[in-house]
Amino acid sequence: MFLDRNIEKKIECYLNDFPVIVLTGVRQCGKTTLARHVRPDWKYFDLEKGSDFDFITADFDLFFNQYDESVIIDEAQISPQVFRELRGVVDNERGKKGRFILTGSSSPELKKQISESLAGRVAVIEVGTMKLNERYRKDVSGIYEILTRASVSDHLRLLQKMTDPVCTQDVLMHFFEGGYPELVVNSDKDFRLEWFEQYFDSYIQRDMKALFPGLQSENYRRFVRMLSGLSGTTINRSQIGRALSVSEGAIRNYLDIAEGTYVWRNIPSLESTVSKSVVKMGRGYVRDSGLMHYLQQINNIDRVLSHAGTGYAFEGFVTEEIIQGLNSVSLSRWGCNYYRTRGGREVDLVLTSPDAAMIPVEIKFGTSTKRNEIKPLAAFIEQENLDYGILINNSNRLALLAHNIIQIPAGYL
């Protein structure tokens, strides 16, 4: 069963502008299904399938003479030569657009080949696990069109007019279960646990060994499990290194690997600010909240609600929802940062639009927010001379908490 994805319109847009597009993302996020859905009549080849691999790589000239357009090549990173050969194929008819869709899970070789062989000829689109609205078969929230299309002076007025949110109960269920498409379709508890167990073992034993042969896989396994408990918090590499009895350099390398394979998202600190006391330590989170809960052995919704780290984890979940929402409607990249001062004042997320307008976002797990809890947000708005800020929580209504702070329930994301 195919569930519509927000990113489809962006794929269509890029197919009109580029000869090649590459869909990247974590394994099992739905890249292949999405590619075959948007172009069901295109010829499909999977480089993980031995016969397809041999057919393409035995004689590239012969293959591309037969299939010089309307082709999907899955797991393209397995053969780096594909990218080099594609360059000549594309350049032979440079004006032709929408000829190839490639998919690939992250690897250093994939990024290298895209930048070296296909620069200027390719658009890269990141596919995440399923977003809240996709799970419940709703259109992408109007909040993202407002933020990307309307003028800043109109944002507050338009945000207050949004309708049709996902209910809080469904928000919490998506927060607990995550967005891997196979688990969205089949959310049986026993299947979910078995699926995550197989998935994580495959990630460590297959993907990591193939991509990073020298990696100490057991140390990296322990690192990822520890990292899951740090979602939404600032990351102190030296502390993690001491806990795992490995060097800070190894932890830096592990963080790069986790981020590069789309398991972890790093949110850097905001340094372009009036304040001189900014903490330059970033924060991050496991990108799929279902995987995070599995790694922490949180196996039911009651444990989610009572767990001490749920507030931090929810901040990561909301941040990922916002980033994916913006990526689905905007062709330009938005800046996403975390702000904290040495005095302890912080803002969970600071969005920066392509034209450099800042929108600070505070995230709370509860259903109501006390006035003293929005003081850091209000202070940041005043400090940076901004028009307004947003507070996201699990309330059931849109509301103005102050003249320039709007409360938006998470169900509107």
CATH number of the domain at 8-126, out of 3.30.420.40, 3.30.365.10, 3.40.50.300, 1.20.1050.10?
A: 3.40.50.300
Q: What's the distance, CA 188 to chain centroid? A: 25
CA distances from 404 to 81, 177, 371 (A): 54, 34, 13
CA distances from 338 to 41, 64, 67, 167, 412 (A): 44, 46, 46, 28, 22
Question: What percent of the chain shows pLDDT beyond 90?
Answer: 68
| Distance from the first to the final alpha carbon of the chain | 24
Consecutive H or E run containing 284? strand 283-286
Question: How would you write the pLDDT of the chain (413 residues) with one tens digit per residue?
Answer: 778 999 999 999 999 999 999 999 998 999 999 999 999 999 999 999 999 999 999 999 999 999 999 999 999 888 888 988 999 999 999 889 999 999 987 666 677 777 777 778 889 999 999 999 999 999 999 999 998 887 777 888 888 888 889 999 999 999 999 999 999 999 888 999 999 999 999 998 888 888 888 889 999 999 999 999 998 888 888 999 999 999 999 999 999 999 989 999 999 998 776 666 777 778 999 999 999 999 999 999 999 989 989 999 999 999 999 999 999 998 788 999 999 888 878 999 999 988 888 999 999 999 988 888 899 999 999 999 999 999 999 999 898 998 899 999 999 99
Look at residue 159 in the predicted model and tell me its pLDDT.
Answer: 87
Residues 174 and 151: their CA atoms lie apart, in Å, by 32
- pLDDT digits 0-9 by tens, 298-357: 999 999 989 989 999 999 999 999 999 999 998 788 999 999 888 878 999 999 988 888
Alpha-carbon radius of gyration of the chain = 22
pTM beyond 0.85: the answer is yes
Where are the domains positioned within the chain?
8-126, 132-412
